[in-house]
Amino acid sequence: MPPVGPPQRPGGGQTGERGSERGSKPGAERTAVLAALLAGVLAPLNSTMIVVALPAVLADLDAPLAWGSWIVVSYLVAMAAVQPLGGSLGDRFGRRRVMLLGLTGFALASLLAALATSVEWLVLARTIQAITGASAIPNGTALVRVSVAGPRLGRAFGLVGVGIGVAAAIGPPLGGVVTDLLGWRWIFAVNLLVLVPGLVLVARLPRTGERASGGRFDLLGSALLLLTLVGAASSATVWRVPGVSLALTPLLGVVALLSGVAFVLRSRRVPDPVVRLDLLRRPGFLPAGLTVASSNLVMYTVFLALPLFLAGLVDWGPRDVGWVLGVMSLVMLVWGPVGGALGDRFGRRLPALIGTVVAAVGTLPFLAIAPTWPWWAYVAAVTLLGTGIGLSSASVQAAAMRAAGTSDAGQAAGLFSTMRYIGSIVGTAVLAAVLGDAAGTTAFRWLFAVVALAALAAVASAARLPARSGAVADREHVGEEG
């Protein structure tokens, strides 16, 4: 494949990624979108497949049940903390290069997880998975932003968003089937089906115009962000570990609060912070981030809670549960590109607002969930919810990346993905706190009440997105940069 890059300056230099955005060819655009899609599905796939395999994992490794949440939470926390650093690495050293290293590291970490002989080993391997994955995912998003022309950006993000949503939906049933047939260790081999073609596609991407900026890394800022997230997640889950004093919960909460304040102060003082707080002040970025965090809390909590309800209280088997989640993934597959196209035509706010409203309405039936429901009631509820999430996701992401511009695309993608994972972390913590070890119908209804409130928060945030036409705004933005 001939190299595709930005136009050359007279002295042999390059105009950088701005020229790349205008000079991309359809083949390079497709390669970037497919590579970003494959990198993007790794995170939801590996954060949901493990859920249904947890009983087998804990039994095989002779670990207490309380460790189960840490196998999930450690992955989410590491993802959220490292994503901004991964985007910064791509901005400074080349997105293609960092993405290749991240995908390779993810493959090695998957092998370590499959060979784990203790729960501590598995938690460590899962953490390495998250760190390496966090290096690849935001750079895939950034490559889409700088490779795809403005009028097609919404559709591109729509396809990537659909891939992420489908991976999250099929993770639990896929994990159950693989665990039943081959054993829990083989769920990590599924990653090869994504990693091998992903590495091939990334290797085919152009090498020119990759670097956007230089500077030093804010390692202290990264450590403070990690401490904040670990402290917050620990304060919500550690009280379930046998023998741990309840007094540790508020103590960890204080640690999270203090480290969070220190992180904000640090980010404002250093010239190259791990998170660019000024991105939050750019029109459209903060509302987009809050929308994706709230929406991901809704989606992730439903994906985790519904299988528990159907298997534990309705006595459905893995195939039946997988069928219901498959309906939701199919609905998201249909509506994702539609929402992206609507955003390109009418502006990002309209489809985002319509989608979040539909998703909020879709959470209402779960407030009255009961084991006596007929099968079609569950299908109708997830269909409505999936329609809303599919409609809104692409426009929300496109609004965030449009607000950042191409030069900060890596950091913006990392920050946006971190906010997405914060929603997942909060959802996991809420689920663990509300359901407990032996939850009944009432506990699930309370959980879905929290989900409904999060859906309303997504509506409020989506209403604050810029109303300008996405296609017009992107064309103007390209002209300004040139």
Taking only the tens place, the pLDDT of each residue in 266-321 is: 988 888 777 777 888 888 899 999 999 999 999 888 887 887 788 778 988 767 77
Would you say the pTM of this structure is higher than 0.85? no
Mean pLDDT of 128-139: 86
Answer whether residue 109 shows pLDDT above 90. Answer: yes
Q: How many alpha carbons fall within 13 Å on the CB side of residue 216?
A: 6
Length of the chain: 482
Taking only the tens place, the pLDDT of each residue in 99-108 is: 899 999 999 9
Q: How many alpha carbons fall within 13 Å on the CB side of residue 207?
A: 5
Answer whether residue 2 shows pLDDT above 60. Answer: no
Mean pLDDT of 469-478: 43
For the chain, list the domains and their CATH numbers. Answer: 24-207+274-471 (1.20.1250.20), 219-273 (no CATH)
Mean pLDDT of 174-199: 89
Q: Which residue is listed with tokens 């950042």? A: 404
Residue 8 backbone phi and psi in degrees, to 5? -85, 145
Burial state string for 320-355 with b = 16 or more CB within 10 A and e = fewer than 16: bbbebbbbbbebbbebbbbbbbbbbebbbbbbbbbb
Q: Which of 130-144, 187-201, 214-228, 442-456 is the least confident region?
A: 214-228
The torsion defined by the Cα of 42, 126, 236 and 396, in degrees rounded to 10, comes to -20
Q: How confident is the model at residue 215 (pLDDT cuts 50, 70, 90)?
A: low
**Helix, strand, or coil here: 16?**
coil
| Res 97: pLDDT | 87
Residue 284 backbone phi and psi in degrees, to 5? 100, -25
**DSSP 8-state class, residue 8:** B
Tokens describing residue 347: 């502006």
Answer whether residue 471 shows pLDDT above 70. Answer: no
Q: Which residue is listed with tokens 């002040």? A: 281
Mean pLDDT of 418-436: 81
Answer whether residue 7 shows pLDDT above 80. Answer: no
